[in-house]
A and B are shown apart, each in its own frame.
Chain A
Amino acid sequence: MEKKRNSISFEVYGRYALFSDPITRVGGEKFSYQVPTYQAIKGILESVYWKPTLVWLIDAVRIMNKIQTEGKGIRPIKMGGGNELAYYTYLKDVHYQVLAHFEWNEYRPELLTDRNENKHHNIAKRSIERGGRRDVFLGTRECQAYVEPCEFGNGDGFYDDYGQLDFGFMLHGIDYPDENMQKSFNVRFFNCAMHDGVIIFPPPNSPVIKRRTVFEEQIVKEFVIGQNLLSVDDEVGEE
């Protein structure tokens, strides 16, 4: 695994996780993918530390525990009021190691002055040490998770000598309108495979990814330094 100079690594664990398969999700009976999607990991990292100046890229995830599922009967709230019943299937006792790095968001040139790589990198590392800036959860809100710093690849994992395991065609992630030129909302899919417990994610611009544009010409929130965004250079740490 090639490390970038602004790479970070952390581990995230929790009792349950639910990375819903979009195929079952539409009906309301959610069933989790066996492994986290790129987007779920990215979301975790964005809860830990994120600014519109940068985009996190997930390089790899390492599955530490055996993949297990547990079904639960759930009573979700209906849109028109009241409740209904559904079965959700969660992953149980999950533990992942993540290797990621950030790149500048090229579609936000107005934030050019905020691109202080060293400072962003250090803030991110400190945020991981403190368990993240915001609530961290695995896939779905009810699956609370915990983040700690770690060395990617350290420790024993269940799948260390397992060889290749294919998960087939699955969701990779979502291109949000502020991350592409066309300001469109795209969903990305790819063929996911795990080798000895490690999934190396192709980056979102990789040719192996299948992409579908769902919505075009979306509105992107504006950020102006000094108005609704503090420049990274002005951020002051705790005394």
Chain B
Amino acid sequence: MGLFQNLLETYELSENAIGIAGSVKDGVIDEKKTLLPIFHTTFKSTICVNLAQHGKFLSATRDKKEITIIIPCTEGSSGRTTNVEAHPLCDQLDYLGGINKAKTKKYLSELKNWKGQNPSLNAIHTYISGQTIVEDLEGSAIFKDNEYQEQTDTPLHNRLDYEKIRKLGVRFTVQTGDGFINVWESEELRDLWKEYVLGSKSFTKSLFDYISGLDVGKIATQHPKNINSTTGNAKLLSCNDKTEFTFRGRFAKQDDAIIIDYENSQKVHQMLRWLISNYGYNVDSQVIVAWAVDDNKEVNEKLYDNSYILIEDTQADIQTEGERLEELKGQVYADYAVKLRSVLQGYRNANVLKQHARKICIAAFDSATTGRMGLVFYQELSEDEYLGKIVQWHEDTSYFLTAWKKPTDDTVELKSSRVEYIGAPSYDEIIFAVYGKDRGDKSYTTLKKKTRKQLLECMFGNFAFPKNLVEMAANRASHPMGFMDKNGKFSENDWRKSVNISCALIRKYYKKETEEIPLELEKERTDRDYLFGRLLAVADKLERTALYKAEKQDTRTTNALKLMSAFQVKPYSTWGQLYNQLIPYRNQLFGAGYYQSLIDEIMVLFKSGDFESNTPLSPLYLLGYSAQNRALLKKDKTEQSEETNDGDITE
């Protein structure tokens, strides 16, 4: 099935959770994270007007900070800019207060057509028709001092600065027999509005919807924008381009080219907006989202529990109130996005994912221009396939990596702890290794977007890992002197990270091309590149040890690292140079017998002619370097612990 069919299906499965506010943080409801009912939108409001049953003004209050509420909207008002299109229930003072006659008229006519016999709607209609709202609000001292004009000699009513108050959002409560109804929260009014919109059908011929294939009630003439908040004006479906005719060809009119049911369009967009705002993985205008579609409701509860464990340290912004919303999460399985996000961010054990079984959709969107967003990647996978691919990626691309884990428990001191793990680098880490640190410019973001998509295609589309990325990463890592911190000093941490990520990519690349290269040092391996890499590591370590003994370890970088870039291009002649420079350190270490014999051991492994050849090294040499380096460090650690156990004092 296509993306649109799946979104439609997902929305219908989530029927129970629609309209319930998600994400409560500090008592503030984040309505953006709420799955909106169809034909509704979010609206910012600061003023609440309380009305009596028959439309008499009672009181008004003003919030310190504007709150976001869900209100009904018309097809036109949801995407209004400067045109006169009123929301039918709550709107800005501009529309309600008679400041702009045309707008107020539009509002009243929208409300009049809809209100029927509903007492709340009638009360609001009666009240707004009376045109006393601005006076009433003034009487209740709603406006702030700075919302008045400065001259004081004019009559009271003219002193208000309309420019400053016209954008204020107004909502209503209406008194009933035993209390007040918050009209923006009323289920009854929401249903009433849905019925009203669906009731005003506009079709003449019997047509079918291009998404579902079912009969169309009302044709959507425009589709919602603001699906991804970072590209607020971009529409996924756009078909009102009357000047450039992006749909030109066989068709001249929008309706010739496409028929989409208004209700379905609403469902698709509300669902996608919810998925993106809750689970989107954003870079600039690009967003990646993954979710599952399933109608098997019986196992949801259990599955929800499992995912809860899984997301333990990302759940801060997705924790929810209300059981129905939790149920939604079980049903839609949007947690997969959290998991995917974690997976994309690398540091996560992919095996935990093996416990669910659904159909997974992965979609990526991007906007080339401000007005439109395009679907740039879409894949539907069975659960097995999806997990298989993730696990596969993790296995193929894994290497020794370091992460900084934030403490999950508040009682522990707030310092992050260093975690060493074997895993796949995240997309952003790969981008760091390939292109360096974010310099905060536009071109970097573009590269980042491009690379993320490439990696996504590689992860889920069975593509070979791009060779250019491996080579660029290896090339960067071969220039340690290029890694500077803010003070212009060599930043060894950044460089080591870059080497490790490059090694992960090299492993992935070789896995697809020829063979799997093990993580640990292969003592018998006779590849020229690998052996030269090992030599470099030994030279580095030898010098380091000598510097350490002389207590000069932090004074400068080793010759091996300084010569690394030359070593990669001309290994044979650079090795000769490096070997000569090692002489004083060998002397300091009284001949450095262990390292010398290790060098001899490696030398023996070269096939005839390999060592003498001066051709550049392939990225594989980094793996040789890294593996040897690790082996030497490991040896150090074991010796140290043995010495400590013996109670000996080390120098």
Contacts and interface: CB of A to CB of B under 8 A. Distances in A.
A associates with B? yes
A199 to B, nearest CB: 14
A23 B4 CA distance: 9
A229 interface: no
Contacts of B369: 84-86
Given A79-B248, A212-B259, A24 B212 contact: no
B213 A22 contact: no
Contact of B1 (A66, A68, A166): A166
A191 B377 CA distance: 22
A210 interface: yes
A203 interface: no
A212 B462 contact: no
Interface string B176-204: 00000000000000000000000000000
B241 A28 contact: yes
Contacts of A169: 2, 5, 210-213
Contacts of A119: none
Given A25-B247, A68-B462, A191-B213, A31 B378 contact: yes
Contacts of A23: 2, 4, 210-211, 237, 258, 260
Interface string B237-274: 11101011111101100101111100000000000000
Contact of B2 (A85, A86, A168): A168
A21 B4 CA distance: 11
Nearest to B456: A71
A26 B374 contact: no
A223 interface: no
A152 interface: no
B461 to A, nearest CB: 5
A34 to B, nearest CB: 8
A22 B210 contact: yes
B368 interface: yes
Contacts of A21: 2
Contacts of A185: 250
Contact of B258 (A26, A29, A85, A86): A26
Contacts of A28: 238, 241, 246-247, 372
A68 B260 CA distance: 27
Name B's interface SS: loop
Contacts of B243: 79-80
A189 B208 contact: yes
Given A23-B210, A71-B453, A79-B248, 17 more contacts: A22-B210, A22-B258, A23-B258, A26-B237, A26-B254, A26-B258, A28-B372, A31-B378, A69-B377, A69-B457, A70-B461, A71-B377, A85-B368, A87-B366, A169-B213, A210-B213, A212-B207
Contacts of B376: 71, 87, 89
Interface in A76-101: 78-80, 84-89, 92
A22 B256 CA distance: 11
A66 B237 contact: no
B interface, how many residues as a size bin?
A: 35 or more
A145 B564 CA distance: 47
15 contacts: A23-B2, A27-B247, A29-B374, A29-B375, A31-B378, A68-B461, A71-B457, A86-B369, A87-B366, A87-B376, A89-B376, A168-B5, A170-B2, A189-B208, A212-B208
Contacts of B308: none
B378 A69 contact: yes
B239 A66 contact: no
Interface of B: 1-2, 4-5, 207-208, 210-213, 235-239, 241, 243-248, 250-251, 254, 256-260, 364, 366, 368-369, 372-379, 453, 457, 461-463
A78 B377 contact: no
Contacts of A70: 457, 461, 463
A7 B213 CA distance: 32
The 9 closest A-B pairs by CB, nearest first: A29-B374, A28-B246, A168-B1, A85-B368, A87-B374, A27-B238, A71-B376, A26-B239, A26-B247
A214 interface: yes
Nearest to A191: B213
B477 to A, nearest CB: 28
Contacts of B1: 166-168
A207 interface: no
B368 A87 contact: yes
Interface string A1-42: 000000000000000000001111111111101000000000
Interface string A183-201: 0010001010000000000
A29 B247 contact: no
Interface of A: 21-31, 33, 66, 68-71, 73, 78-80, 84-89, 92, 166-170, 185, 189, 191, 210, 212, 214-215
A83 to B, nearest CB: 11
A125 to B, nearest CB: 32
B239 A27 contact: yes
A27 B234 CA distance: 11
A30 B375 CA distance: 8
A116 to B, nearest CB: 33
B210 A189 contact: yes
Contacts of B246: 26-28
Nearest to A210: B208
A173 to B, nearest CB: 13
B239 A79 contact: no
Given A29-B368, A189-B213, A24 B207 contact: no
A89 B237 contact: no
Contacts of A215: 256
B378 A80 contact: no
Given A79-B243, A87-B368, A69 B256 contact: no
A26 B375 CA distance: 13
A168 B457 CA distance: 23
A23 B239 CA distance: 9
A23 B212 CA distance: 12
The interface centre, meaning the residue of B235, B375, B379 with most chain A CB atoms within 10 A of its CB, is: B375
Nearest to A79: B244
A159 to B, nearest CB: 13
Nearest to B245: A79
B463 to A, nearest CB: 7
Contacts of A78: 244
A215 B251 CA distance: 10
A196 to B, nearest CB: 16
Contacts of A168: 1-2, 5
Given A87-B368, A189-B210, A31 B375 contact: yes
Nearest to B255: A214
A27 B236 contact: yes
B368 A73 contact: yes
B101 to A, nearest CB: 36
B7 to A, nearest CB: 11
